[in-house]
């Protein structure tokens, strides 16, 4: 699988010392005529994006993202985001998709929650309630103009649709714009990671919520040398209360494979593409070694006697036939789950076999762990168990982990969520195929609340704020159905004009999608219909 990198290089910063409405975010087109956001190459409308040139599709998607964030956040100061397509680092198999950051930082401005602490321009303005540097744009953002070319993640082109329906192998531009604007809205720290030094002598607000589990110190209280070590130590986590509260709602519970009875310990495991996913609810019991009576009885490639493994978890050796055949034959003999013991080091992720269908959960363990489990039979048990207060992408205290790989990734380390999050998060350093930032921003709005942003408490609106759809702009857990409807209305109105047939046919697929995804309860259906007819 190609993993693609979203970098967030810090832009050069300028310095200054020094109850809101939904934010207005204005893209500032920095490309010269004829290129990037102004590319005149004809294009076919795609995924709800009605643009008819490449440049127009890019501008529409960018504006859509700006309107989504604008509907989620509150600010009395307009946020201006410079945007351009330009050449970014590439190879045939990887690419920097985009980069972004704040263009100014401020400290000790009116209402600043933390003294002597840097805030990015957009956030500082929102907190201050006024534009602290009216002549300056707040954020800059860049997007890779060569994506998909032979030397730049070959064949993986941008997808400009607004429907989250990215074809396999393409890269969703709107998700990347949401991610990059996200950095500019202050999802970034300002320390120099390879020296540990704070930016211009002061800590920054993002870094003030970072904690290192390896030293049990906050980022700000560490020495420069400790920060250099922590940046690659894998122990960084976010301490803010809003994120902490929402981790259990957004991330999957952490489970581990634990043996009991005659065996003890936890074991690494691989998963299967067939059968039910293994969970604490469906995967536990006494282990039994498969014996199908053949010359190689533990391969389990022949039928076993009826009921031979009734109510038990069958252990079977890898080899001689497909994994799913082994699972199906164990299932036929009464097993409730299957452990495949590998015939080499490591665990394997097992593909399905089209000739049979197994429904019970199946996992793999390494050859060495398989030997330990088999030696404990009879009397060994196995189970998936929830790890208390721990989630996929959290530390053992339930705090969201931040990206701190063992090799410093300049522009990615520190200023992202950890890649272990399940489901994948918008602000992980890699663009994941299961993201859909048109509807789900996971923990990022909560992180913004920790930083000092106010979220829009109202509903998504249409017709320039005159029609209340009844759908909350942003909900706990980062769901943004109302913001989506508001952005779709603005886009369709802009392209087709209000009250036109073109407007109604433009906005209808967005409404349908929101209905299908459960964002429009029956009680709000009439309001949504009325608000999207005008």
Positions touching Zn ion (CB under 5 A) are 6, 8
Decide if 405 contacts 277 (C-beta within 8 A).
no
**Residue 131 or 175 having the CB closest to Zn ion:** 175
507 within 8 A of 498, measured Cβ to Cβ: no
Structure tokens at 73: 């956040």
Minimum CB separation from Zn ion for residue 429, in Å?
6
CA distance 327 to 336: 10
Nearer to Zn ion, 8 or 152 (CB): 8
178 or 251, CB closer to Zn ion?
178
State the residue number with the nearest CB to Zn ion. 8
CB of 420 to Zn ion, least distance (A): 16
Q: For the beta carbon of residue 151, count every other beta carbon within 10 angstroms.
A: 10
Q: How far is the CB of 521 from Zn ion (least distance, A)?
A: 34
Q: How far is the CB of 6 from Zn ion (least distance, A)?
A: 4
- Closest distance of CB 410 from Zn ion, Å: 12
Distances (CA, A) of 351 to 26, 335, 337: 47, 20, 16
Query: What span, in angstroms and rounded, lies between the C-alpha atoms of 153 and 92?
Result: 5
Strands 236-238 and 253-261, by their bridges, are: unpaired
Instruction: Give the dihedral of Cα atoms 369, 374, 378, 381; nearest 10 deg.
Output: 30
Could you please report the per-residue DSSP string of 367-423?
A: HHHHHHHHHT-SSEEEEEEEEEEEETTB-TTSPBBB---SS--TTTSSSSB-TT-SS
Q: Write down the residue that tokens 């604007």 correspond to.
A: 181
Whole-number Å distance between alpha carbons of 533 and 499: 7
CB environment 66-104: b (16+ within 10 A), e (fewer): bbbbbbbbbbebebbbbbbbeebebeeebbbbbbbbbbb
Nearer to Zn ion among residue 86 and residue 215 (C-beta): 86
Residue with tokens 């164990």: 330
Phi-psi region of 411 (alpha: psi -120 to 50; beta: other; left: phi over 0): left
CB 263 within 8 A of CB 368: no
SS3 500: coil
Instruction: Give CA–CA dist 328/22, Å, rounded.
Output: 56
Q: Which of 507, 479, 505, 502 is nearest to 491 (CA)?
A: 507
- 235's tokens: 């122990």
Tokens of 320: 């001689």
Q: How far is the CB of 416 from Zn ion (least distance, A)?
A: 5
């Amino acid at each position: 699988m190609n993993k693609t990198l979203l970098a967030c290089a810090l832009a050069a910063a300028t310095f200054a010392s020094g109850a809101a409405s939904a934010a207005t975010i204005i893209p500032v087109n920095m490309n010269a005529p004829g290129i990037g956001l102004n590319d005149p190459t004809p294009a076919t409308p795609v995924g709800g994006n009605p643009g008819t040139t490449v440049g127009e599709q890019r501008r529409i998607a960018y504006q859509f993202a700006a309107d989504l964030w604008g509907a989620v956040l509150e600010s009395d100061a307009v946020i201006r985001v410079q945007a351009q397509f330009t050449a970014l680092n590439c190879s045939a198999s990887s690419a920097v998709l985009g980069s972004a950051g704040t263009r100014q930082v401020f400290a000790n401005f009116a209402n600043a929650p933390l003294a002597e602490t840097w805030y990015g321009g957009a956030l500082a303005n929102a907190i201050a309630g006024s534009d602290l540097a009216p002549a300056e744009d707040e954020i800059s953002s860049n997007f890779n103009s060569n994506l998909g070319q032979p030397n730049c993640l070959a064949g993986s082109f941008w997808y400009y649709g607004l429907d989250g329906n990215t074809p396999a192998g393409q890269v969703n531009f709107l998700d990347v714009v949401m991610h990059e604007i996200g950095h500019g809205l202050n999802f970034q720290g300002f320390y120099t990671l390879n020296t540990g030094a704070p930016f211009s002598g002061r800590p920054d607000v993002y870094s003030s919520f970072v904690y290192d589990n390896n030293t049990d110190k906050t980022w700000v209280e560490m020495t420069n040398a400790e920060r250099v070590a922590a940046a690659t130590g894998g122990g960084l986590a976010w301490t803010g209360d809003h994120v902490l509260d929402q981790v259990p709602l957004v991330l999957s519970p952490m489970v581990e494979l634990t043996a009991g009875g005659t065996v003890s310990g936890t074991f690494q495991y691989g998963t299967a593409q067939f059968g039910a996913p293994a969970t604490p609810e469906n995967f536990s019991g006494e282990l039994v070694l498969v014996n199908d009576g053949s010359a190689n009885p533990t391969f389990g490639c022949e039928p076993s006697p009826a009921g031979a493994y009734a109510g038990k978890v069958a252990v079977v050796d890898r080899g001689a036939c497909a994994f799913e055949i082994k699972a199906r034959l164990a299932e036929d003999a009464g097993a409730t789950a299957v452990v495949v013991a590998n015939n080499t080091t490591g665990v394997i992720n097992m593909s399905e076999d089209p000739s049979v269908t197994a429904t019970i959960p199946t996992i793999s363990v390494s050859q060495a762990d398989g030997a330990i489990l088999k030696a404990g039979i009879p009397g060994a048990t196995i189970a998936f168990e929830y790890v208390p207060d721990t989630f996929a992408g959290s530390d053992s205290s339930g705090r969201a982990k931040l990206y701190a790989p063992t090799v410093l990734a300049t522009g990615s380390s520190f200023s992202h969520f950890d890649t272990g999050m399940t489901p994948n998060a918008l602000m992980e350093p890699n663009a994941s195929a299961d993201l859909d930032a048109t509807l789900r921003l996971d923990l990022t709005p909560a992180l913004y609340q920790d930083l000092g942003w106010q979220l829009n408490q109202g509903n998504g609106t249409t017709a320039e704020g005159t029609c209340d759809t009844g759908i909350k702009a942003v909900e706990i857990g980062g769901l943004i159905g109302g913001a989506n409807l508001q952005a779709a209305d603005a886009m369709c109105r802009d392209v087709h004009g209000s009250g036109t047939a073109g407007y109604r046919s433009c906005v209808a697929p967005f409404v349908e999608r929101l209905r299908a995804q459960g964002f429009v309860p029956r009680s709000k259906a009439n309001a949504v219909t009325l608000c999207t007819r005008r």
